[in-house]
Amino acid sequence: MLAAASVAVWQTRPEILAWVAIWALAIRTAKEGRAALGLANALTWLRVLVTGGLVLLPQASLVLVAAAFTVFALDGVDGAIARARGTESEFGADLDKECDAFFVLMVGMLLWHQGTAGIWILIPGAWRYAYSLIVSMVDELRPAPRSNWGRYSYSTSCVCLILSLWQHTPAAAALGAIATALISASFLRSLYYCLPRS
C-alpha cells in the first residue's frame, strides 16, 4: 500500500492509491473463498469501495465530507454484525483493519492533493504500515494489545481529518495537524508497549 501511495504522490494522482488498494484487497478476499462471504465482510467491502470512490467526488465539498463520514460511521458496525451472527474470523478482522488504514491514507492523500496540508498529512496513513513492518522485522517486538487510548485517538483523528476535507483554510490544516499528532502518539505508545519487559 505504501508503494501505491508513493506512486500516487509521485504522479500527483490519488486515484492510483484507490485502484491499487481495491485491487489488492479484492485479490486477498478472493483467496479466502467462501470464508470471505457474509454480511459483515460485505459491509466492510462497502466501506472499502466508498473510500476508493472519494477520489471521484468534488474537492472541499459537503458531498465529500458526507461520504467520508459515512465510511467512518460504519466502522465497527461490521464487527458488531459478525459478533451478533457468530461469523467472526481472522480474515474479517484483518479486512477491517486494512479498510481503516486505507481510509486514513486516502483522506490524507486527498488533503495533500487539494492543497489543504503539506505532504506531512500522509504520516497518519503511513503509520499503520510502518508499525506492522517494524514489528515483523524485529524479533523482540510483539504486537501491542489494542487499548482505549488507541481507539479514542483513532476516532478523534478521523473526525479531524474528515472535517479538514471541507475547506482550504488554516483551521483545516490545524485539524490535520492534530490528527497527525494523535495518531503518531498512539503508534509510538504501541511501539513502546511492544518492547520486551524484563
Measured distance CA(146)–CA(160) in Å, rounded:
21
Range of the domain at 43: 2-194
What is the pLDDT confidence band of residue 105, given thresholds at 50, 70 and 90?
very high
Q: What single-letter amino acid sits at 8? A: A
State how many domains the chain has. Answer: 1
Of 94, 41, 39, 46, residue with least CA distance to 73: 46
Measured distance CA(46)–CA(51) in Å, rounded:
8
Q: What is the pLDDT of residue 6?
A: 62
Q: What is the pLDDT of residue 123?
A: 94
pTM (two decimals): 0.89
Say which range, 116-125, 139-148, 173-182, 185-194, has the weakest mean pLDDT. Answer: 139-148
pLDDT tens track for 41-76: 899 999 999 999 999 999 888 999 999 999 999 988
Q: What is the pLDDT of residue 197?
A: 65
Between vectors from CA 129 to CA 160 and to CA 171, what angle results, nearest 5°? 20
What are the C-alpha distances in Å from 126 to residues 1, 83, 129, 171, 187?
A: 9, 29, 6, 23, 11
Measured distance CA(81)–CA(34) in Å, rounded:
18
Phi, psi of 107 (to 5 degrees): -65, -40
